Structures are given as structure tokens and as C-alpha cells.
């Protein structure tokens, strides 16, 4: 199989054209930009923490943590589930830390599937990410941003749906522009947005803890009342909790840009998970100091209800904090996911132009822009939430397979250097948890999961058409080559220097 089968003669024509493009622009490029065209190692420990924390803490903890309370049956059990999900997520995150330090390539899930199970499985993972999961997930978090950034302007009236979509489109476009222009400024703004999220949580936690120390504990009485607990619903509570913690794997998407990988990746993951778990548990404790379980279940936006009870007029700032939180998740997600497309292109699973770097900005411009058209399409015409339901079980299936790949590599490649190595107990427990959630999805919603499997199966003809068969029709090859060359010239991107 040709590694660059999407381009003729392994992309030589495109590479030569790119070198010409680079020479033509060299005379116009300032001296400070005449450095090696590549993705530099600009992700420090602080930036790594900001990526993980900034993506994990989205809108959920501010809006509606009631799913866990509803399915766990009591206040005490809901807090236990929050802690347990944090520990399980830490197991998965540390497993990814081992993979990131022994396989020092960017790309996250895709790269690890490629190393453990080969190109076919890796392409399946890439395909469903590209055509469905990521556009829908990005559209959902972007819509939350659009909704909450406009909330203070329209209170107490409803926001027109078109206004929400326009604000969403502007926010998404600004994130893409930022990631296209500068890696350094993308990372700096991510740090600022992560600090804003933590400040927002502090605005909830501090008054809540003050109330707790004053003796406001009536809502914690009979916290572990077992009469309302249904064992059949506990897995659903864990499902909601694991979704709230999802995002701990994103630093592994940018491994090649991380300074001192062996130290930074494990440390950033451990610190981030400790911060997120602590913040999540304390935030929920703060909610219960002000609201009873019934009030929390009846609230449509828990953080707003809390703020109205405790902060008075200052509660109008809560939607702004939620919007900033969503924007941070959008920014971090685009930064990380573009690197997966960059690496997949380098491996020959996507058009070669996606593995090229802007000649002056030194950003993977084409890879950054990849999700934009599909996300905008989902935003205005797609049934986003249904698509997310189709894909939720596939997400955990493939994450479980990646961690299973770690166990597989322990036996098939025992001599692979592992600067950071987790006890085997961690990946085993995480795999069992992931596959149980997959089974739960199949059992609880066979129709939607079946549709998700159908979407997944579309990767098979795509793999044979674009990757497996080298002697494809000349007209198709000519279209692909022409598209690559045209995009390279328009975007001013060239292959990174070795």
C-alpha cells in the first residue's frame, strides 16, 4: 500500500511546487520569519495543563450536573460517582501518558491504533472522527457558546435561534483564525481561558464552602439514603460522569510539540486530573449547600440558580463565564484535533496538503481548517444531538480499544522504551469500564447505536477507494492531485523541513 496514495508519485509534484512557493515568498519574508518551517516544541507544562483542564471543563459543570444525581439516587451517591469517575478517568489518562512517552508521535487515538492494530483500524477511527463525531461535538459546544454569550443581552427574553447560530458561527470562525495565525498565541489564550474557568468555579466553590462552614448542612442529611437508589441506573450515572471528564486525552494529540515529553506529559495529566476532580467535587458540594436535591433536579441551569440565590445581581456574570468556558473547549479542541489530521495526512490516510505548514506562521493551516466546513454544515442543517447519540458508544469503544492496545503492546513489544509505565491494573480496570459503557449503550438504545455502527461501516468503502487500491481511475487521481496543488498555493503551505 502506498503511504501517500492520495497524491501522484508520492506527492513529488506537490512537494516541488511547495518548494517553489517557498522560494518565491522568501524575498518577501521578514528576517525573523526565515527560520525552519516546522511545528516547534512550544507546549510547556503550564500550556499542557491548560489544554487538558481547558477542554475537560466545558459547559456541563455550570449548567446541568443533575444527570448524575438523578441516576445515582442520592446526594451522597452522586458525590461518590463524581469521585469514582475522576479516578477512572485518571486511570485512562495515565494509560495514555504511558503511550505518549513510548510512542512520541502526535495524533492521539489515531496514532496508537495505528501502532497497535495497523492502518485499517486506525483509518476507521479517523474516518468517524472526521465525518461525524468531531463536527457534531464542535457544533454542540459552539452552540452553547453562542447561547450563553448572548444571554446577558436578551435577559429575561428568549434568544432568537438565528442570533444564536450567527454568534456561534462568529465564535467558531475566530477560533479557527486564532489557531491558523499562531501556535504561541493560541496557547497563551488557552491559559487565560483556563484561568477564567477556574475563577468561575471559585465563584461557586468559595461561597458554597463558606455556607458549609457556617453549618448549612441540612441538604446533606440522609445523604446516603438507599431507598431511592436503583442499581440498574447507577451505570447511567457513571456514563454521565465519564462524559463530564472526557478530554483528558487531548495532550496526546500534540506530543511532538511538547517540551521534554517524558516529564511533561505524565505530570501535566496527573496535575490536570487532580485539579478537575477536586473542582468538580467541591462545586457539587457547593451546589448542595444552597439547593436541595429536588431544587437541583428542577433547575435547567444549576450554576445560574446557585448564583441567583447566593450572588444577587452578580449572577448575570455566570453566562459570560459559561461562554468563556465553552470558548476554551473550542480553542483547545481545534488545536489538538488539527494535529490528528496532520499526522494522518503524513501517514497517507488523508490528502498530503493537510501535513503541510504555513511558510510564515508555522501552523498546520490546512489541518486546522479541515473541520470548519463540516462543522458549519452541522450547525445550520444537521441534527447534531441525534448524531452525538449515535456516536457516544463508538467513542468509548475506540478509547477502550486504544487502552487495550497498551496492554497488547506490553506483550508484543516488551522491549519498547517506556520512560513512564503504569501498573497493569490501571488499563485493565479502564478497559472493563469502557466496554461496560459500550454494552450499556447497545442494551439501552439499540436503534441509535445501530445507526452509529452503520456510519462506522462507511469507512470500509472509503478505505478501499482512497487508500488500498493504488490503480484508481485516472480522473479521480487527477482531481485529487489538482485539489492538493491548488490548496497548497492558496493556503501558502509547504512540507515541513526535516
Tens of pLDDT, residues 242-272: 888 988 999 999 998 898 899 999 999 999 9
Residue 367 sits at φ, ψ, to 5 deg, of -65, -35
Q: What's the confidence (pLDDT) of residue 496?
A: 80
Domain of 355, CATH number, reads 1.20.1740.10
Tell me the average pLDDT across 204-231. 82
Tens of pLDDT, residues 439-466: 877 776 777 778 778 888 888 888 887 7
Residue 32 lies in a domain: no
Q: What's the confidence (pLDDT) of residue 275?
A: 94
Tell me the average pLDDT across 89-113. 92
Q: What's the confidence (pLDDT) of residue 4?
A: 45
Distance, first Cα to last Cα, the chain = 24
Nearest to 393 by CA among 457, 451, 340, 338: 451
The whole-model pTM stands at: 0.85
List of residues 6+ apart from 188 with CB closer than 8 A = none
- pLDDT bucket at 87, cuts 50 / 70 / 90: very high
- State what percent of residues in the chain have pLDDT above 70: 88
Residue 189 lies in a domain: yes
Number of domains the chain is built from: 1
355 alpha-carbon distance from chain centroid: 20
Residue 487 lies in a domain: no
Residue 325 lies in a domain: yes
Residue 381 lies in a domain: yes
Residue 251 lies in a domain: yes
Q: What's the confidence (pLDDT) of residue 384?
A: 62
- In angstroms, rounded to a whole number, what is the distance separating the alpha carbons of residues 13 and 485? 8
Q: Mapping DSSP to helix (H, G, I), strand (E, B) and coil, where does residue 358 land?
A: strand
Residue with more model confidence, 381 or 159: 159
The answer to whether residues 92 and 403 touch, using CB atoms and an 8 Å cutoff, is yes
Nearest to 243 by CA among 455, 57, 50, 444: 57
Q: What's the confidence (pLDDT) of residue 489?
A: 86
- In angstroms, rounded to a whole number, what is the distance separating the alpha carbons of residues 399 and 113? 10
Residue 425 lies in a domain: yes
Tens of pLDDT, residues 35-64: 566 666 778 899 999 999 988 988 778 776
- In angstroms, rounded to a whole number, what is the distance separating the alpha carbons of residues 122 and 392? 18
Domain region containing 433: 45-480
Cell representation of residue 211:
455556607
- In angstroms, rounded to a whole number, what is the distance separating the alpha carbons of residues 248 and 87? 12
Residue 18 lies in a domain: no
Amino acid at each position: 500500500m502506498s503511504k501517500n496514495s492520495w497524491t501522484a508519485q508520492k506527492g513529488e509534484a506537490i512537494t516541488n511546487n511547495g518548494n517553489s512557493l517557498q522560494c518565491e515568498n522568501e524575498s518577501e519574508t521578514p528576517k525573523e520569519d526565515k527560520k525552519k518551517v516546522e511545528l516547534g516544541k512550544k507546549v510547556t507544562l503550564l500550556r499542557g495543563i491548560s489544554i487538558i483542564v481547558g477542554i475537560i471543563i466545558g459547559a456541563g459543570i455550570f449548567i446541568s450536573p443533575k444527570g448524575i444525581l438523578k441516576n445515582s439516587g442520592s446526594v451522597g451517591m452522586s458525590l461518590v460517582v463524581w469521585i469514582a469517575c475522576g479516578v477512572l478517568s485518571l486511570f485512562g489518562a495515565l494509560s495514555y501518558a504511558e503511550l505518549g512517552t513510548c510512542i512520541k508521535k502526535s495524533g492521539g487515538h489515531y496514532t496508537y491504533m495505528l501502532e497497535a492494530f495497523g492502518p485499517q483500524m486506525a483509518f476507521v477511527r479517523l474516518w468517524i472522527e472526521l465525518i461525524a463525531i468531531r463536527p457534531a461535538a464542535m457544533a454542540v459546544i459552539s452552540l452553547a457558546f453562542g447561547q450563553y454569550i448572548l444571554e446577558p443581552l436578551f435577559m429575561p427574553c428568549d434568544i432568537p435561534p438565528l442570533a444564536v447560530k450567527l454568534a456561534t458561527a462568529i465564535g467558531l470562525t475566530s477560533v479557527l483564525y486564532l489557531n491558523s495565525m499562531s501556535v504561541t498565541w493560541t496557547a497563551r489564550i488557552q491559559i487565560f481561558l483556563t484561568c477564567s474557568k477556574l475563577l468561575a468555579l471559585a465563584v461557586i466553590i468559595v461561597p458554597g464552602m463558606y455556607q458549609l462552614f457556617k453549618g448549612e448542612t441540612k441538604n446533606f442529611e440522609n445523604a446516603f439514603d438507599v431507598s431511592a437508589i436503583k442499581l440498574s441506573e447507577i451505570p447511567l450515572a457513571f456514563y454521565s460522569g465519564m462524559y463530564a471528564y472526557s478530554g483528558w486525552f487531548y495532550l496526546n494529540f500534540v506530543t511532538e510539540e511538547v517540551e521534554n515529553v517524558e516529564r511533561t506529559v505524565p505530570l501535566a495529566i496527573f496535575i490536570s486530573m487532580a485539579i478537575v476532580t477536586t473542582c468538580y467535587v467541591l462545586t457539587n458540594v457547593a451546589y448542595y449547600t444552597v439547593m436541595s436535591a429536588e431544587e437541583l433536579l428542577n433547575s435547567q441551569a444549576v450554576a445560574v440558580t446557585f448564583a441567583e440565590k447566593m450572588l444577587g445581581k452578580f449572577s448575570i456574570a455566570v453566562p459570560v463565564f459559561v461562554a468563556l468556558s465553552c470558548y476554551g473547549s473550542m480553542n483547545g479542541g481545534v488545536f489538538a484535533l488539527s494535529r490528528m489530521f496532520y499526522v494522518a495526512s503524513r501517514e497517507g490516510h488523508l490528502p498530503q496538503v493537510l501535513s503541510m505548514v504555513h511558510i510564515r506562521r508555522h501552523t498546520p493551516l490546512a489541518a486546522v481548517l479541515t473541520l470548519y466546513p463540516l462543522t458549519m454544515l452541522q450547525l445550520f442543517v444537521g441534527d447534531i444531538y441525534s448524531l452525538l447519540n449515535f456516536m457516544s458508544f463508538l467513542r468509548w469503544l475506540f478509547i477502550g480499544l486504544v487502552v487495550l492496545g497498551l496492554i497488547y503492546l506490553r506483550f508484543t513489544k516488551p522491549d519498547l522504551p517506556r520512560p513512564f509505565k503504569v501498573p497493569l491494573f490501571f488499563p485493565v480496570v479502564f478497559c472493563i469500564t469502557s466496554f461496560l459503557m459500550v454494552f450499556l449503550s447497545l442494551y439501552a438504545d439499540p436503534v441509535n447505536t445501530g445507526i452509529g455502527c452503520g456510519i462506522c461501516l462507511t469507512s470500509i468503502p472509503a478505505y478501499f477507494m482512497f487508500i488500498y487500491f493504488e490503480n484508481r481511475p485516472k480522473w479521480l487521481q487527477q482531481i485529487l492531485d489538482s485539489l492538493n496543488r491548488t490548496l497548497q498555493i492558496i493556503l501558502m503551505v509547504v512540507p515541513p523541513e526535516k
